[in-house]
Amino acid sequence: MIMAITDETRKIIFNKLKNQFDKICPPMVLDKFTEGKSVTIIGNKPVPYGHKKEIVPGMYFVSVEQRKDSVVFYFFPAYMQEDAFTDHAPNLWKCLKGKTCFHFKKEEQVNEKELQAILKKGIQLWKKLEYLN
């Protein structure tokens, strides 16, 4: 039987992720924030995006959101270059569902050292792709 995630566990996981996001701003930029519910971080440079190449204020980087059954962490650099990150975060990658979405249901699934490593590597990629000043 799978146990449901508690509100307390969701809060702990969310705060672990948010605390790591706080460490990367700057150079990254807080785009959206809903207290205790969601955070979105983007690059600090306006760039063209999508098939219409519309200018956005910054390229989407990461976000975290509390859901009823888990806390989800979206890591967009993995979409662009997944193989550059898997070696740095083998434990986190066990929670990956799809290309960029990690689902956490237990606080021990959030390996902060691995999270720091992939965020740092993601920032390097954003600089290389000229999404950061």
Q: Which pLDDT tens digit goes with each residue over 34-84?
A: 998 999 999 999 999 989 999 999 999 999 999 999 999 999 999 988 788
Q: Give pLDDT, residue 28.
A: 97
Nearest 5°: phi and psi at 95? -100, 5
Entry pTM: 0.92
Secondary structure (3-state) at 40: strand
pLDDT tens sequence across 80-119:
887 888 888 999 999 999 899 999 999 999 999 999 999 9
- Asked whether the predicted pLDDT for residue 122 surpasses 70, the reply is yes
Q: Which two tokens stand for residue 35?
A: 């207290």
Residue 87 CB-density burial (10 A; 0-12 exposed, 13-18 middle, 19+ buried) = exposed
Helix H or strand E segment including 32? strand 29-34
Domain 7-128 architecture: Alpha-Beta Complex (3.90)
Q: Quick one: pLDDT at residue 3?
A: 63
Sheet with strand 101-104: strands edge to edge: 29-34, 38-42, 60-66, 71-75, 101-104, 96-97
